[in-house]
Structure 1
Amino acid sequence: MPAQRKRPLALIIVPVVVALAAAGWYWKGRGGDEAQKFRTAAVEQGDIRVAISATGNLSALSTVDVGSEVSGKVTEVLVDFNDRVEKGQVIARIDPDTFEAQIEQGNAAIANARASLQTARANLRNAELDYGRKAELVGQKLIARGDLDQALAARDQARAQVASAEAQIRQQTASAQNAHLNLARTVIRSPVNGVVLARSVEPGQTVAASLQAPVLFKIAEDLSQMEIVLAVDESDIGQVKPAQAVSFTVDAFPDRRFKGQVRQVRLSSTNTSNVITYPVVVSVDNSDQTLLPGMTANAEIEVSRRDNVLKVPNAAMRFKPPVDEAAAEQQQGAQRGGGMSDELPKLVATLKLDVNQQAAFDAALAKMRERIAARTAAPPQGSNAPNLFGRGPGGPQSGGNRGAGNASGAMRQRMLERFNQQFGEFRATLRDDQRAQWERAVNELIGARRAPVYVLAEGKPKPVLVRVGASDGSSTEIIGDLKPGDQVIVGVQAAEPAK
């Protein structure tokens, strides 16, 4: 009986132990699978190109509208679309009969005015002789004084009639000249050398130029040089400057990129549906005559270019690991340890300092690092004072209150003033050119944005504080303790479903 009782008990215990062991192995394996895995990307060295996109239409540098200054029926049209014309070439004619008749009428009026002048001059000679005779008779007291006065008035009237006849001749002559001009205007000539873009008149058509000159032809002066007027958004216009490079495509040649250059940033704005844009004129070389007026250009204005710099994917700048105490302490240490104190030696290496200047810089840098070390060892609790060279509490890149962004300008100004005090003795030893280079670089360093990127260290994210530069939308320039080939974390791998 005892042997029979032990056998069922053994049959129960052994399967339970095996099941527990299998469950432990399963949960252990599952726990390992649930450990976070990160996606990484390599730090690269290359170029970053920052560009602004805009659209516009191609046009000739100079387009002339050729119209008619006189009214009449068009008798001839001597050019067509795309014809090349030279300055002074006859391109159309208007019926001249009306103006030829006006010239004949003017000539007749001039002849009549000249005849009137001859009559007036004859009357004047008679009046002058009469006045002379009566003046002698008055001297002899043979006639009354009143007769002499009447003769004087008649002479003056005759002189006025001569002047009026002469003025009439000039008036009729001017009228005839105007008729000659109108006759010459019946022949339409090209004012420039160019290509006919548009023709809006046909033989037999009547044009009326009573209020304004009707446009008969549109002539492009030179299609080997063209321009694009781009509409650039107000948020981007501050980055656009003359002489910047422009590349663009047109729908007619989608596989080809054309080059241009910013010639002018115009001050006049355009409001379209509450969107403010500014016209930017781009010069384009069209020596091969490939581009045509009116084509829509999809352009990119290169506002910044950084060659041979370190860059990381933008995802690396957005990645934030789960926050725990150890990671927070590690990140805070990285933020306090990085900053300008590590970048200043690289800056002064470009200034070519002499021995005395180098000694003054080393002394100022040593004092600055002592202050940073003291502040890092015992940071004031609840302090909102700006950390000058790291990114601790209150720094420009800290996650402070919502108003921190509004105070960044004043904060940077205080940082710059304190920095100038700390390096005042060193600045005094610099030459003018060195001082200008130093101040320009310092302003750039203080105004630069800094942020952490994360690398894998023993399977955990380790923050590395870098200075952030230009971004082209996919990659961002960085300056810091990284080198090409280093792996930065860009995200977390999705967990695989349990099988």
Structure 2
Amino acid sequence: MPAALGSLRRPAVAVNAVLALLLAGGAFWAYETLSGPATGTAADASVRSVPVQQGTVTATVTADGSVESASTASASFVTGGTVTSIAVHVGDRVKKGQVLAKVDPAPAQRTLSAAEADLAAARDALARAEDAGSDTSSAQNEVTRAQLGVDEAQAGVDGTVLEAPMAGTVVAVNGTLGSSSQPSAQQGSADEASGFIDLADLGKLQVTAAFAEADATKLKEKQAATVTWNALSGTRQSAKVVAVDPQATTDGTVVTYGVTLSLDKVPAGAKPGQTVSVSVVTGEVAGALSVTSAAVTTVGNRHTVTVVANGVQETRQVEIGLEGDQVTQIISGLTAGEQVVIRTTTTTTGGTQGRLPGGGFGGLTGGGAPAGGGFPGGGTGRAGR
């Protein structure tokens, strides 16, 4: 009987083993199907060679800037008063000496009349002293003082009329009819932030730009530049540096220096206030040997390149000159046409390998083929009876 039981159990065990293998194979197939490419970041080194060339090496510095008039003036009344007339509008072109505005002259005229009366009285006193043959020095001093008073009062009357201090275009009118105008002692001064009326010569435009302190140290007068307009598509104009501010401007932690550039020609559509990009040539060498800057390795004061010939690479020390925007001048160590190596590194990233829920391969419910044979719960259990 035990032998019979053993023979009955062996087929059940064999069946369970086959089923376990089939389920394991299915789980492996599902794992491979669900999994993606292996995850990883690989650095692939790419090597290529470029020839040593001969040509012009150029170094530039750049900054953002704006357009402004090279000739401006602010016109303000010499005599304060109520504005009674404004003869111009923004955009009007005016000539030097043209009347721009007026204030009420009545108060100034009364002051002039009083000064003229004082002068007449002083002259009468001087005449009496002369007729009497007495000392006239005191009377003469009074006449001189009175004359100065008249001159001042007359200037006050003249100051009620505002005239253009230069020819140009009206760019701002900072007052209105009936408003009170304050007097200014510096009529037409370009240093004033604004006057009653501001003028600018729109035919003489210039560019101002703020350069980083490291770049500003490379700038000096008469350097060539190129100005590109942001609002005028494709508009570029040559220019020259005319001034570099001696004093820096600090905005938080950023230090810049103001630079003024004159335009060789005013392009059509250019107006004060427009934003521009400025590129100034700080160095240029014509007919120079050069290589792409990425080919030069610098350690301290030692510069090297890797030269390749017939598939053989050789590290060679070189002497460099001007470091341009894209290429570096080679003074010695290379000849035109030689091939130098540039190494670039690219990074590739793959996906994440998938795993079945629960990790690894899923097991059979109930533990696969239980010890003692049969399916979970005893398999065919009847053989044990």
Q: Is the 8 A contact 1:45 1:310 kept in 2?
A: yes
Q: CA deviation at 1:208?
A: 2.0
Partner of residue 91 from structure 2, selected from 74, 82, 93: 82
Q: Is the 8 A contact 1:454 1:489 kept in 2?
A: no
- 1:468 paired with 2:337, answer no
Partner of residue 71 from structure 1, selected from 80, 98, 108: 80
Structure-2 residue corresponding to 1:107: 116
Q: Is the 8 A contact 1:37 1:492 kept in 2?
A: yes
Once the two structures are superposed, residues 361-389 of structure 1 have per-residue CA deviations (whole angstroms, 9 ceiling, x without a partner) of xxxxxxxxxxxxxxxxxxxxxxxxxxxxx
Distance in 2, matches of 1:259 and 1:471, equals 23
Structure-1 residue corresponding to 2:275: 296
Partner of residue 202 from structure 1, selected from 146, 170, 176: 176
Q: Is the 8 A contact 1:244 1:301 kept in 2?
A: yes
C-alpha spacing 1:286/1:188, structure 2 compared with 1 (3 Å): farther
C-alpha spacing 1:40/1:493, structure 2 compared with 1 (3 Å): farther
Q: Is the 8 A contact 1:110 1:169 kept in 2?
A: yes
Partner of residue 243 from structure 1, selected from 200, 222, 234: 222
Distance in 2, matches of 1:492 and 1:183, equals 80
Secondary structure of 1:104's match?
A: helix
Once the two structures are superposed, residues 192-236 of structure 1 have per-residue CA deviations (whole angstroms, 9 ceiling, x without a partner) of 12222221122222112288878211112x333332233222222
Structure-1 residue corresponding to 2:63: 54
Q: Is the 8 A contact 1:223 1:286 kept in 2?
A: no
Once the two structures are superposed, residues 107-148 of structure 1 have per-residue CA deviations (whole angstroms, 9 ceiling, x without a partner) of 3333333444455556x36xxxxxxxxxxxxxxxxxxxxxxx
- 1:483 paired with 2:309, answer no
Distance in 1, matches of 2:152 and 2:349, equals 94
Aligned residues between the structures:
299
Distance in 2, matches of 1:71 and 1:469, equals 64
Distance in 1, matches of 2:305 and 2:340, equals 14
C-alpha spacing 1:170/1:313, structure 2 compared with 1 (3 Å): closer
Distance in 1, matches of 2:102 and 2:150, equals 21
Distance in 1, matches of 2:259 and 2:347, equals 47
Secondary structure of 1:481's match?
A: coil
Distance in 2, matches of 1:179 and 1:496, equals 86
Query: Which of 1 and 2 has higher RCO (CA within 8 Å, sep 6+)?
Result: 2
Q: CA deviation at 1:272?
A: 2.9
- 1:168 paired with 2:148, answer no
Distance in 1, matches of 2:253 and 2:346, equals 43
Unaligned 5+ residue runs, structure 1?
Answer: 1-35, 126-158, 319-396, 400-404, 409-448
Q: Is the 8 A contact 2:67 2:274 kept in 1?
A: yes
Unaligned 5+ residue runs, structure 2?
Answer: 1-43, 188-193, 351-385
Q: Is the 8 A contact 2:92 2:170 kept in 1?
A: yes
- Higher mean Cα deviation, 284-293 or 90-99? 284-293
AA partner of residue 343 (structure 2): V
Distance in 1, matches of 2:123 and 2:150, equals 14
TM-score, with structure 1 as normaliser: 0.53
Q: Is the 8 A contact 1:452 1:465 kept in 2?
A: yes
Q: Is the 8 A contact 2:98 2:164 kept in 1?
A: yes
Aligned structure 1 segments of 4 or more residues deviating by more than 6 angstroms: 210-214, 492-497
- 1:217 paired with 2:187, answer no
- 1:267 paired with 2:276, answer no
- For 1:358-437, what aligned pairs fall within 5 Å after superposition? none
C-alpha spacing 1:58/1:288, structure 2 compared with 1 (3 Å): closer
Distance in 2, matches of 1:466 and 1:284, equals 40
C-alpha spacing 1:495/1:274, structure 2 compared with 1 (3 Å): closer
AA partner of residue 48 (structure 1): V
AA partner of residue 215 (structure 1): G
- For 1:133-172, what aligned pairs fall within 5 Å after superposition? 159-160=134-135, 162-172=136-146
Distance in 1, matches of 2:100 and 2:150, equals 26
Secondary structure of 1:107's match?
A: helix
C-alpha spacing 1:301/1:37, structure 2 compared with 1 (3 Å): closer
Secondary structure of 2:337's match?
A: coil
AA partner of residue 68 (structure 1): F
Distance in 1, matches of 2:95 and 2:322, equals 51
Partner of residue 304 from structure 2, selected from 427, 432, 451: 451
Secondary structure of 2:234's match?
A: strand
Q: CA deviation at 1:246?
A: 0.6
Larger helix share, 1 or 2: 1
Distance in 2, matches of 1:37 and 1:283, equals 48
Partner of residue 261 from structure 2, selected from 282, 286, 289: 282
Distance in 1, matches of 2:348 and 2:184, equals 82
Q: Is the 8 A contact 1:453 1:466 kept in 2?
A: no
